[in-house]
Amino acid sequence: MTKALLKVEGLKTWFDTPEGTVRAVDGISFELRRGETLALLGESGCGKSISALSLLQLVPEPAGRIVAGRVMLGDQDVLAIPERDMRKIRGRRIAVIFQEPQTSLNPVLTIGTQIREALPEGFSDRRARERVVALLTSVGIADAERRYHEYPHQLSGGMKQRAMIAMALASEPDILIADEPTTALDVTIQAQILRLLKELQQKTGMAVLLITHDLGVVAEMADHVAVMYAGQIVESAPRKTFFAEPRHPYARKLFRSLPSRFKRGQALDAIPGSVPSLAQAFHGCRFAERCDQAWDLCRQKAPRWINKTESGVRCHLYDPDIPTTEAVAEAPSAPPSTKDAPPSPAGPANEVLLRMTDLKVHFPIHKGVFRRVVGHVKAVDGVSLEIGKGRTLALVGESGCGKTTVGKGILQLIRPTAGSVTFDGEELTALSERALRPMRRRFQVIFQDPYASLNPRMLVGDILEEGMRAQDLGGHPQDRAARTEALLRHVGLPAEARNRYPHEFSGGQRQRISIARALAVDPQLIVCDEPTSALDVSVQAQILNLLKQLQDELGLSYLFITHNLSVVEYLAHEVAVMYLGRIVEKGLVHEVLESPKHPYTQALLSAVPRIDTDTGRKVIRLEGDIPSPSNPPAGCHFHPRCPEATAACRESYPGPSRFSATHETCCHLYATGANTGKRD
């Protein structure tokens, strides 16, 4: 075993807030070796980013302070180095890339200038320039000479993240800290960046500390995994061991709460509750409240770190000094109850609730003094879909493909430019705003961001009653109040929540309130716009369970807009894949996900990092970024990125080809025979 490059021992970082001391990082230890990737895995608010900042003494002062611990970089304790000398460490020996490439680059300086700033001193003008261009090329930016003079806004998100990596690599650091480097990016771009990081690591032999919440990314990238929970590392193990046999109950629960196609029809084994507040002194195990294997000792005594050669775990279950008789015998992974959620048939829909035909939403681009229309952003460009009663249609696509706009077009929050939306036989696009108002109770919406979707100035009760009032439902004020309480209980919140403000609730609870608000008016269809992507995995499972349960009980239909394919596999009946405003493939969930036809669908599916990474999955790497919808490529929109593009793809947009009654795609690959025969 090689000597550790970076060794962290008992690091504690605390924050002093008016509410008390927040123990954000409470005694973590780990080692990082040359050429190795250590993944720090954890949910939001568990202290992983603060740990990384602490390593560089970048904890925001004066609120935060490093209370204890050592960070040994070679023979030097980084925490003992005065601020003046830290500059020689930061960016030189330890470099960082952050989550948001948008905010990490200065918008008024060119890319070249910013990367040059990161170069070590002593480069001549010309040499520095050459070096920056070389760096840009090495992170896979084509035409680096030109990009050198461009500003951040001229680069796409993935490109900016590449530039950030180039900046981090400028001084050839020993250690690269990557703080959620791909969370803000789309899956196909994420695959590019992850591959790039891996290649660079092999070339330079640097150590990578990867901070992430995504088990898939960990499986793809890490050599060693450390799981953080509530400011502590609860388990540490080599990747293979960890994925083969996670030991800490929290880690095991995490795996079980992940949605996937194998869990279809079952309730997910969600972890109850949410991450505890760190502004308290813990007496027992921090996970005890949410653990189904906890017993009395867990609440009284904090478990110690139990070390085995390469791995360790912080749990009483594995403590040899604690008699196992006392412990609950290795709880069999309770089979998730299947009875309350019978597997819904994945057959074709029987009764259509909502039908979109050739829906188009174009936004005009104005220019000049007189604001003449010089073009259109074709956010949605001819989408035809159907949603059956009690069914879930998943609309999948990367950011900017227009999937949210489809949702808003259905809800008539944005009036479609052309096409029709019929809801239960009624044409919505023809209705005036006034005539639409009573209709609105039948289709509702749940948004992505639980923090923006509730008015912070209104009581939860008022938020829920607003829809009833607007729709004149629920009768007397007392009846409404009673109904509100029933709704809250229905979504798993106490009835007293009525008299509290949204800020008193966690993200998952707020999402429950959003769901209750939508349910308040008895809708038939709910447009779920990425309802779980802002939530942690453990909370996501709770919300998915709730949505599924509500569908079974109330016969709701969902339009589920998402980029998360494992959620699709778990929840949807039908899938439609969207690219640049058009549907490229649609069909029943097993048809699309098991035998994808369109090259884009294939690439999208292969780009998703999987936990079962050893199965020899072939990843189709897509190059480049999604083009702008204001100026889509001629012919098939996907052809510039398509590995199988032909001359025909550049000339005309392909017509639909059918594979079954429900499965169809738009691709020239299948058009040859189908074009004449199957178009009716």
Partner 1 sequence: MPFQPVFLVTDVLIYVLLTAAIAFGVYASRREHLRAPWRQVARRPLAMAAMVILSAYVFIGLLDSVHFRERLPDQDQYSSEVLSLLDKIATPLRTRVEKTYSAPFAVHGFTKETVEHPDGSITREYPRLLYGGAHLEDPRDRTADIVKRGAVATLEGGIVWVFLVGAFVLLWRRPGEQFMHALRRLARGDSDLPWRTILVTIGALILVGSYSVNMALHYHILGTDQVGQDVFYKSLKSIRTGLVIGTLTTLVMLPFALVLGVMAGYFRGWVDDVIQYTYTTLSSIPGVLLIAAAILSLQVYMANHPESFETVVARADTRLLFLTIILGVTSWTSLCRLLRGETLKLREVDYIQAARALGVGNVRIMMRHLFPNVMHIVLITVVLDFSGLVLAEAVLSYVGIGVDPSMDSWGNMINSARLEMAREPMVWWSLAAAFVFMFGLVLAANLFSDAVRDAFDPRLRK
Q: Does 438 bind partner 1 (CB under 8 A)?
A: yes
Count of C-beta atoms within a 10 Å radius of residue 420: 15
Cα dihedral 403/405/407/411 (nearest 10): -170
Q: Does 62 bind partner 1 (CB under 8 A)?
A: no
Q: Does 339 bind partner 1 (CB under 8 A)?
A: no
Q: Does 393 bind partner 1 (CB under 8 A)?
A: no
Q: With residue 257 as reference, give the H or E element that holds it.
A: helix 249-257
Shortest separation between residue 411's beta carbon and partner 1, angstroms: 5
Q: Which of 455, 631, 652, 672 is close enough to bind partner 1 by CB under 8 A?
A: 455
Q: Does 413 bind partner 1 (CB under 8 A)?
A: yes
Which of these ranges, 247-255, 356-364, 376-384, 407-415, lies near partner 1 under the rule CB under 8 A?
407-415
> Of 10 and 438, which CB lies nearer to partner 1 in the complex structure?
438
C-alpha 266/C-alpha 664 separation (Å) is 28
Two structure tokens written together for 263: 């869990």
Task: Pick out residues in 142-181 that bind partner 1 (CB under 8 A).
Answer: none
Q: Does 649 bind partner 1 (CB under 8 A)?
A: no
Cβ contacts of 455-460, under 8 Å, gap ≥ 24: 455/502, 456/501, 456/502, 456/503, 458/501, 458/502, 459/498, 459/499, 459/500, 459/501, 460/488, 460/497, 460/498, 460/499, 460/500, 460/501, 460/502, 460/505, 460/513
Q: Does 437 bind partner 1 (CB under 8 A)?
A: yes
Q: Does 365 bind partner 1 (CB under 8 A)?
A: no
Task: Pick out residues in 490-519 that bind partner 1 (CB under 8 A).
Answer: 501, 503, 514, 517-518
Q: Does 13 bind partner 1 (CB under 8 A)?
A: no
Instruction: Please say whether the beta carbons of 636 and 615 come within 8 A.
Output: no
| HEC string for 174-226 | CEEEEECCCCCCCHHHHHHHHHHHHHHHHHHCCEEEEEECCHHHHHHHCCEEE
**CB-side neighbour CA atoms (13 Å) of 61:** 7
Q: How far is CA 291 from CA 210, 247, 286, 294, 552, in A?
A: 27, 13, 9, 5, 28
Q: Does 409 bind partner 1 (CB under 8 A)?
A: no
Shortest separation between residue 447's beta carbon and partner 1, angstroms: 4
Q: Does 619 bind partner 1 (CB under 8 A)?
A: no
Instruction: Please say whether the beta carbons of 310 and 237 come within 8 A.
Output: yes
Q: Judged by CB under 8 A, how many residues of this single chain contact partner 1? A: 33
C-alpha 132/C-alpha 124 separation (Å) is 12
C-alpha 25/C-alpha 42 separation (Å) is 12
Shortest separation between residue 515's beta carbon and partner 1, angstroms: 11
Q: Does 453 bind partner 1 (CB under 8 A)?
A: yes
Q: Does 444 bind partner 1 (CB under 8 A)?
A: yes
Which of these ranges, 143-151, 217-225, 256-264, 444-452, lies near partner 1 under the rule CB under 8 A?
444-452
Shortest separation between residue 366's beta carbon and partner 1, angstroms: 12
Task: Pick out residues in 661-680 that bind partner 1 (CB under 8 A).
Answer: none
Two structure tokens written together for 436: 């639409």
> Of 263 and 441, which CB lies nearer to partner 1 in the complex structure?
441
Q: Which of 77, 100, 289, 449 is close enough to bind partner 1 by CB under 8 A?
A: 449
C-alpha 49/C-alpha 37 separation (Å) is 16
Q: Does 203 bind partner 1 (CB under 8 A)?
A: no
> Of 277 and 646, which CB lies nearer to partner 1 in the complex structure?
277
> Of 424 and 449, which CB lies nearer to partner 1 in the complex structure?
449
Q: Does 367 bind partner 1 (CB under 8 A)?
A: no
Instruction: Please say whether the beta carbons of 577 and 406 come within 8 A.
Output: no
Shortest separation between residue 561's beta carbon and partner 1, angstroms: 13
Instruction: Please say whether the beta carbons of 235 and 215 come within 8 A.
Output: no
Q: Does 361 bind partner 1 (CB under 8 A)?
A: no
Two structure tokens written together for 116: 């040059």
Place of tokens 């059918």: 658
Q: Does 61 bind partner 1 (CB under 8 A)?
A: no
Q: Does 466 bind partner 1 (CB under 8 A)?
A: yes
Shortest separation between residue 473's beta carbon and partner 1, angstroms: 10
Shortest separation between residue 455's beta carbon and partner 1, angstroms: 5
Residue among 593, 29, 677, 638 at smallest CA distance from 304? 29
Residue among 140, 174, 132 at smallest CA distance from 160? 140
Q: Which of 470, 628, 643, 644 is close enough to bind partner 1 by CB under 8 A?
A: 470
> Of 244 and 452, which CB lies nearer to partner 1 in the complex structure?
452
Q: Does 443 bind partner 1 (CB under 8 A)?
A: yes
Count of C-beta atoms within a 10 Å radius of residue 172: 11
Q: Which of 109, 322, 436, 619 is close enough to bind partner 1 by CB under 8 A?
A: 436
Q: Does 429 bind partner 1 (CB under 8 A)?
A: no
Q: Which of 411, 583, 626, 642 is close enough to bind partner 1 by CB under 8 A?
A: 411
> Of 280 and 471, which CB lies nearer to partner 1 in the complex structure?
471
C-alpha 411/C-alpha 674 separation (Å) is 34
> Of 63 and 331, which CB lies nearer to partner 1 in the complex structure?
63
| Three-state secondary-structure class, residue 680 | coil
Euclidean distance between the first and final Cα of the chain, in Å?
Answer: 67
Pairing mode, if any, of strands 224-229 and 418-423? unpaired
Q: Does 441 bind partner 1 (CB under 8 A)?
A: yes
Q: Does 236 bind partner 1 (CB under 8 A)?
A: no
Task: Pick out residues in 511-570 that bind partner 1 (CB under 8 A).
Answer: 514, 517-518, 521
Residue type, position 339, single letter: K
Q: How far is CA 573 from CA 21, 445, 593, in A?
A: 47, 19, 11
Shortest separation between residue 209's beta carbon and partner 1, angstroms: 27
Binding site for partner 1 (CB under 8 A): 63, 408, 411, 413, 436-441, 443-445, 447-449, 452-458, 466-467, 470-471, 501, 503, 514, 517-518, 521
